[in-house]
Structure 1
């Protein structure tokens, strides 16, 4: 499994490198700035309920990953979540359920990982357990 993680990380590094090269070659960077105004290229660590609310209000589509550091399936899902943040128009937010137990309860988390997809400020989909990248990309594309 570590080979798969290493391959995924290397693929993400290469994409970031290409994006950086395109920005550097692009001149004034106005196109890059317009792209950056959308969703961040990395998952957003959520610091509490107000912070999550702000992220959901700021971005049209937000995938919230409710995880725990000790959770094996959460660790398996992490490279996929990072890739989705880097390569889709959705913002990706991460909620540590141990650090934010009240928020996890408010989100209805009963098992980890739990993924909640928000579109236009409203939760539209909830998935529990490890999900494949294609499934998550399909859901994001549906609402993006």
Structure 2
């Protein structure tokens, strides 16, 4: 991990979604980055596939880190966050769960939500 600098801006956020493998991995990502938009998805989910280009764009163009959690591979993690339907988006800010949205959302709405926590 990079040494802290005088500016407390966060480590450079990844420009691609980070695929999460388990609770410890998600905890590490949430601890490391200021704002993390977590996409709980399933490969068989049509709406999740519709959301995929949006989350990729948000990862590339916003100050948020985008995390992807496959609910089939991480059932306990999904249950721990109360995910009952996919896609579910959970936004973490400063290490805490701040927002939870179920269903496909437009890019503008998600970008606006991220900006509330990154500015």
| Match for residue 56 of structure 1 among 30, 44, 59 | 30
In structure 2, the residue matched to 1:71 is: 45
Question: Could you say what secondary structure the match of 2:57 adopts?
Answer: helix
For residues 56-113 of structure 1, give each alpha carbon's deviation from its aligned partner in whole angstroms, at most 9, with x where no partner exists. 0000000000000000000000000000000000000000000000000001100000
Q: Distance in 1 between matches of 2:115 and 2:10?
A: 18
1:43 matches 2:17 = yes
Structure 1: gaps of 5 or more residues: 1-34
Structure with the larger RCO, 1 or 2 (CA within 8 Å, 6+ apart):
2
Q: In structure 2, what is the Cα distance between the partners aligned to 1:135 and 1:53?
A: 25
Q: How big is each residue's C-alpha offset from its partner over 1:96-132, in whole Å with a ceiling of 9 and x where there is no partner?
A: 0000000000011000000000000001100000000
Equivalent in the alignment of 2:5: none
> Residues 35 and 92 of structure 2 are in contact (CA less than 8 Å); yes or no, is this contact kept in structure 1?
yes
Q: Quote the Cα distance in structure 1 between the aligned partners of 2:47 and 2:73.
A: 18
Whole-angstrom distance in 2 between the partners of 1:113 and 1:143: 21
5 Å-filtered alignment, 1:9-20, equals none
How far 1:37 moved relative to its partner? 3.5
Query: What pairs up with 1:1-144 in 2 under 5 angstroms?
Result: 37-144=11-118
Whose strand proportion is higher, 1 or 2?
A: 2
Instruction: Show CA shifts across 1:17-45 (max 9, x none).
Output: xxxxxxxxxxxxxxxxxx99321000000
Greater gyration radius: 1
Distance 1:72 1:45 in 2: 19
Structure 2: runs of 5+ lacking an equivalent: 1-8
Between the aligned partners of 1:37 and 1:111, the Cα distance in structure 2 is: 32
